Amino acid sequence: MLTLDYHPTGNHFLQIPGPSPVPDRVLRAMSLPTIDHRGPEFGALGLKVLDGIKQIFQTRHPVIIYPTSGTGAWEAALANTLSPGDHVLMYETGQFATLWHKMATRLGLSTEFLGWSGEDAVLPAAPGWRHGIQADRIEQRLRQDREYRIKAVCVVHNETSTGVTSDIAAVRRAIDAAGHPALLMVDSISGLAAADFRHDDWGVDVTISGSQKGLMLPPGISFNALSPRAIDASRQAKLPRAFFSWDEILEMNATGYWPYTPNTNLLYGLSEALDMLLGEGLDNVFARHQRWAAGVRAAVQAWGLPIQCADPEVYSPVLTGVITPEGVDADAVRRLIHQRFDLSLGTGLGKVRGRMFRMGHLGNSNDLTLLAMVAGVEMGLKLSGVKLAQSGIHAAMDYFSAHAAPRALTHAA
């Protein structure tokens, strides 16, 4: 238990899959004095971030920036494009898909929740939570909908509760193959700026994201990337919306401003994060996360514990879900690791609570901070009485040693 006069030495290891560790460069940028959000300097900042964020979404179309968490941006996406009673097709990949589905129902939409059709021996209570979306199931369902009752297909790109990604291009192909006019809305809250995501190429109508994951910012701002079809849909949509309404925001954004007081200091942070990510190059950013994920998975595989994602094709580059042996409470292991080693891991959410924990490999990390995470988890598992097949820390060290980073540091002799 922390008391006010107790401060652990060294850095806390924030290895949950978001909020991610924030680089000092971003924190320093955020500490600049707050400026007049109607003044000339602000307009320049607004235009810079509104342009830069498009490059991150890989889109030519507008991106809305809200001063809310990702949940607000979920609501904005639905409220701007749909009308009461509209039917939406959603897909259960895990807890975040489940929460978005619940929100859509609460907003007065008629919802349908497709899911994986098989069984899972390791996590029988959550059979679909180890796999990505089966796009052919979406295609089949859309083909049955001859009257086009389904107005939108809503899916999660990187399911943060499981560590499984989904092939969004395949979902687009499924919609096109069925010749269906439904909008495609994608939650890439934890995928963006870590896993490859292409809003325009993949024909996404609304992409929802947040600041506190791949963008390496604190929580507090979130995004809707739009397509021209989504903007057209918003002109007919009748769900109530005011604060979240795209029209007034788009109008003011044209000159770099917002209709209300925006989150100035988080926008300083965003500007800095954009410089870092775009300076590195998105392909390098994606390769960096893939490599980190492979190093962490090498450790989990050496321990002999199941990775939650059952399909290597869709392993998340952002986080790895680790299933604990039957009878070992994953949350007790997490608590012990936090108490003993000042290391936070993600808890199992919803249907998998207590059966797994999540190791984040995103944000301001590097090989050595990830090795510290692996070491902390390995010690915690052993202290919890879990029998490990082999040393994971050595497996991760071997992986990182054998696979140089795409842009390893070089020093002059």
- What is the contact surface with ligand PLP in residues (CB under 6 A)? 18, 69-71, 96, 156, 160, 187, 189-190, 210, 219
Shortest reach from residue 96's CB to ligand PLP, in Å: 4
Nearer to ligand PLP, 115 or 210 (CB): 210
End-to-end, the C-alpha distance of the chain in Å comes to 48
Angle between helices 70-81 and 228-236 (to 10 degrees): 70
Nearest-CA neighbor of 254 among 43, 406, 407, 10? 43
CB of 68 to ligand PLP, least distance (A): 8
Judged by DSSP in three states, 291 sits in helix
Q: Residue 126 corresponds to which tokens in the numbers above? A: 């959550």
DSSP output for 290-354: HHHHHHHHHHHHHHTPPBS---GGGB-SSEEEEEPPTT--HHHHHHHHHHHH-EEEBPP-GGGTT
Determine the Cα–Cα distance for residues 55 and 58; give it in Å rounded to an integer.
Answer: 5
Query: Given the complex with ligand PLP, which of 96 and 341 has the nearer CB atom?
Result: 96
Contact at 8 Å (CB) between 43 and 256? Answer: yes
The H or E element containing residue 392 is: helix 392-402
Residue 23 or residue 70: which is nearer to ligand PLP going by CB? 70
Q: Where do we find the tokens 């052919």? A: 136
**Phi, psi angle pair for 60, to nearest 5°:** -100, -5
Nearer to ligand PLP, 62 or 214 (CB): 214
Distance CA 181, CA 85 (A): 17
**Closest distance between ligand PLP and the C-beta of residue 221, in Å?**
10
Q: Residue 397 Cβ, how far from ligand PLP at the closest point, in Å?
A: 29
**Based on CB atoms, which residue is closest to ligand PLP, 69 or 105?**
69
Q: How far apart are CA 173 and CA 204, in angstroms?
A: 11
161/365 with CB nearer ligand PLP: 161
233 CB-side CA count, 13 A: 23
CB of 158 to ligand PLP, least distance (A): 6
Nearer to ligand PLP, 70 or 380 (CB): 70
Q: Which is nearer to ligand PLP, 365 or 384 (CB)?
A: 365
Closest-by-Cβ residue to ligand PLP is: 70
CA distances from 38 to 68, 223, 268, 272 (A): 20, 21, 15, 21
* Nearest in space to 2 (alpha carbons), one of 380, 307, 271, 344: 344
Tally Cβ neighbours within 10 Å of residue 403: 13
Alpha helices in 304-391 (DSSP H): 330-341, 367-383
If you compute the radius of gyration of the chain from its CA atoms, what whole number of angstroms results? 22
Kindly state the tokens that stand for 254. Answer: 């044209």
Q: Is 156 helix (H, G, I), strand (E, B) or coil?
A: strand
The response to whether 143 counts as a known ligand-binding position is: no
Q: Residue 313 is encoded by which pair of tokens?
A: 């094709």
Q: Which is nearer to ligand PLP, 93 or 264 (CB)?
A: 93
CB of 72 to ligand PLP, least distance (A): 7
Minimum distance from residue 219 beta carbon to ligand PLP (Å): 6
Minimum CB separation from ligand PLP for residue 134, in Å? 19
For the beta carbon of residue 54, count every other beta carbon within 10 angstroms. Answer: 17
Cβ 165 to ligand PLP shortest distance, Å:
11
Residues of the binding site: 358
Q: Per the annotation, where are the binding residues for substrate?
A: 358
